[in-house]
A and B are shown apart, each in its own frame.
Chain A
Amino acid sequence: MSDKVACSHCHLEFTQEVMIEDEGHYFCCNGCQGVFHLLSDEGLDSFYDKTGDIKLAPPIEQYEDSSNFNAPAFYDKFVKTSNNSFSEVSLIIEGIHCSACVWLNEKALHKMEGVIEANINFTNNKAQIIWADHIVKLSEIIDMIRAIGYNAYPYDASLQEVHANKERKDYYLRMAVAIFASMNIMWIAVAQYAGFFSGMTQELKTILNIAEGILATPVLFYSGWIFFRGSYYGLKNRVVNMDLLVATGASLTYVYSIYITVLEHGEAYFDSVSMIITFVLIGKFLEVLSKKNAADTLDIIGKHLPSEANVIKDGKIISLKLEDIIVGDTIVVSSGEKVLLDGVIVKGEGTFDESNLTGESEAIYKKESDSVISGTISIDSDIHFRATKDFEHSTLSNLVSLLENAINKKPKIEQLANRLSEHFSTVILLFSIATFFVWWLCPHSFETSLMVAISVIVIACPCALGLATPVATLVGLNLAARKGILFKEAAQLESMAKIDVLLVDKTGTLTVGKPEVINETILEEFDKNILYSLVKNSKHPVSQGIKNYIQESLETVEETLFNSFKQLPARGVIATYNANEILGGNVQLLEEYSIISSFTSDKTLFFVAINKKLVAIYELEDKLKKDAVILVESLSNRGIETIMLTGDHERSAIKIAKQAGIKTFHANLSPKDKLVYVEKLQADSKAVVMVGDGVNDILALGRADIGIVMGSGSDISVDVSDVVLLNSSLISLLDAFKISDTTFRLIKQNFAISLVYNAVTIPLAMMGYVIPLIAALSMSFSSLLVVGNSLRIKYKYKKA
């Protein structure tokens, strides 16, 4: 152990013989050596004092050409130019381990001529760089980051994050002011309440009123600005919303309190002004926190699609932008890569995973002159194909534009809070105006009538109403998150409680999505460790299924070293060891090696032969997830109908539907058919939840009232959906329904509480019986009641 030396740059330890020695320093690779010298030359070697013993990843030496970053197309997409000619880009820096890495990157970039600002966020590794483009090019900046051992790639910040963060920060500031002022007003108010009962001089009262007035001013005009803005937009659209109620209530109270303070007669209500604004603002902030940014969905497009493909031009393989590839170009796809354009295979053969696009659960074998569809994945072989459509007209690209449409047309189930608050606000305003005229005509002084009218608005404090939904949904969201269910938007908890139909995809959602061994026939004893080593080397789903099966059946597995190993695309694998030959694969492979078997089955078969003698046969099948039956049953008890939609053929659909207890199912559906089906249900005014995992579900996921995706789903479907189930279990799906039901019930209770509160207090206020102490106390009491009630969600859910 003692002869291990740490690399001077990355601090990883290796034996001394393999290290590169250089003037007393040891390096594990040329990359580390290069970075070390660069940092010394630039005078940045104090980096190593800062890292201490933290181990870094050695720099990767091969990178694509950085000149791509100077392409006009790249600038259009990612680089923003400010009016003083500075350019700005957002990058994600790869390889940041500690704060010293952040220091080094910022320092190195600041040293560059023309770089004005480099700001790296340690928590999420995102960097914002501002530079003068006429002095230094972006590619040089990227080269610098790579030279010091990191990598950078761009992301489009303008759409989602910047906007969301800005709004959040704005609310933080407004809330900070509101909370600060309210806390101070409250302790002054305590003195006033005490004085109200024990008596205090008018002079002292005025001093306290002025202090409260000073504190209430920024709350009303800075923190409360949001409500003025909201009521302006509401009035413009001819809607009386809660913002209007808050804004009129607070500003009338404010004006009246100033009037009282100047007149030195009566009670001022500055504490009510700031309390109303603060409480409702907190409720609003909670909503903003849990709201999905509308801009998010726009960013989906293109994010998950590679922008380039490898094309053969003049006998050489070059990378071309997808838009630049024309019909007739020959494209190279390696094993494991995605096909990006539609075309016809001109060279090679192999199996393709089309489950993503069609829901077909088994891999499909394709050979020369067969057509390939964009969006499918080549599992095990390298092929060349000729593009028959350009990118714009390819299946994948069509799917993306259809998706945009589906999302735009997505219906929104109207939220209870919006409907209620609109009526509530109108009624209260009318009550208050009526009270004023009744009192004035009764007759009372203008002053008294105004005060009573204002107290109606103040006592009808929308605090409880404003907190009713956000607090309950926040508790619900937290509970769901702990169960591995992520709701992207709080309002969806409410929408989900109103669902009529559940649509489920088959492959990967109801079923495990991978073939599993259901029957093993041993014809002759053999060492399963050898078979394990054979299938372990293949990525084909059938091989993986066999591998898992052996792993489970044997206590320990020993790996065999093969003399030779070969994958035969779409047929199987073959290997030699100790002068023996083992092969595993399908019927075609048997025929090729003239091995005869009469075994037939409607399931996927995997044959194993040693020295051309058949030793074992495995039958594999995609199995139903174990909780599927419980899910379908409990949902039907809740009055929700479950329908299965699949792209797979009828035969396997019938079998799975029967096992799961699903009465209605539709097979052979294309992604667009699924979309049409969702639209049809919605036309019958049914609220629809779609659950899926693959690209073939994204259109339906996007269009359904709620789209739920399994955590194992493709990235793009995760983005399109509204709810993500992290553990892919169907019990989580059931939990999601239960939690949303419970939450919605408690939201309704919260509304009931605040309405009852208002029904009792408003008449009292209209009759002029409300004194400031009671107003303040009851205001806080009703809010606490609503918050307390919301906390019962967890307890209620257990009983659901």
Chain B
Amino acid sequence: MDNWVIVMMLMGSLFLGAVALFGFMWAVRNGQFDDKEKYLNATKFDNVEDLNDAADKQKKREELEKSYRPE
């Protein structure tokens, strides 16, 4: 067996593991583990309307940030 096979396998598995790790870290930072029940229940209510709401919320925030002038 050539050594490059081992290199590829090592790199491949480490890369996949790292992706999972970063996913997990992103979720922890994002507060998805702070309130287990809410996030689990949220899947029940997930629909187009909620996605639109989320987009509106983001838009509203940006507009307010733009419109703000320090006194």
Contact = CB atoms under 8 A, between A and B. Distances in A.
Binding between chains A and B: yes
Contact of A103 (B7, B17, B37, B45): B45
Interface in B1-30: 3, 6-7, 10-11, 13-14, 17, 21, 24-25, 28-29
A177 B21 contact: yes
A252 B9 CA distance: 29
Interface residues of B, number: 31
Contacts of A172: 28
Nearest to B18: A180
27 contacts: A50-B44, A84-B65, A85-B68, A86-B64, A99-B38, A110-B56, A114-B64, A116-B64, A120-B38, A121-B38, A122-B38, A123-B37, A135-B64, A165-B34, A172-B28, A176-B21, A176-B24, A176-B28, A180-B17, A184-B13, A184-B14, A184-B17, A188-B10, A207-B6, A208-B10, A211-B14, A214-B14
A114 B63 CA distance: 10
Given A116-B61, A172-B28, A176-B28, A102 B7 contact: no
Interface in B23-61: 24-25, 28-29, 34-38, 41-42, 44-45, 53, 56-57, 60-61
Nearest to A191: B6
Interface in A177-209: 177, 180, 184, 188, 201, 203-204, 207-208
B60 A116 contact: yes
B8 to A, nearest CB: 11
B17 A173 contact: no
Nearest to B53: A110
B24 A84 contact: no
B14 A203 contact: no
A123 B36 contact: yes
**A-B pairs with the 6 shortest C-beta distances?**
A99-B41, A122-B38, A121-B35, A211-B10, A180-B21, A116-B61
Q: Kindly name the residue among A99, A208, A211 whose own CB sees the greatest number of chain B CB atoms within 10 A.
A: A99
A123 B38 contact: yes
Size bin of chain A's contact surface: 35 or more
A270 B13 CA distance: 19
A110 B50 CA distance: 11
Interface of A: 50, 84-86, 99, 102-103, 107, 110, 114, 116-117, 120-123, 132, 135, 165, 169, 172-173, 176-177, 180, 184, 188, 201, 203-204, 207-208, 211, 214-215
A215 B10 CA distance: 11
A107 B68 contact: no
B10 A207 contact: yes
A169 B3 CA distance: 40
A50 B45 contact: yes
Contacts of B56: 110
- The interface residues of chain A, by DSSP majority, are classed as helix
Contacts of A165: 34
Contacts, number: 75
Interface of B: 3, 6-7, 10-11, 13-14, 17, 21, 24-25, 28-29, 34-38, 41-42, 44-45, 53, 56-57, 60-61, 64-65, 68, 70
Contacts of B14: 184, 211, 214-215
A413 to B, nearest CB: 35
Contact of A107 (B21, B53, B70): B53
Nearest to B11: A211
Contacts of B10: 188, 207-208, 211
A391 B18 CA distance: 59
A117 B7 CA distance: 47
A123 B13 CA distance: 37
A132 B64 contact: yes
Contact of B28 (A103, A173, A204): A173
A120 B41 CA distance: 13
A116 B63 CA distance: 10
Given A204-B6, A215-B14, A99 B37 contact: yes
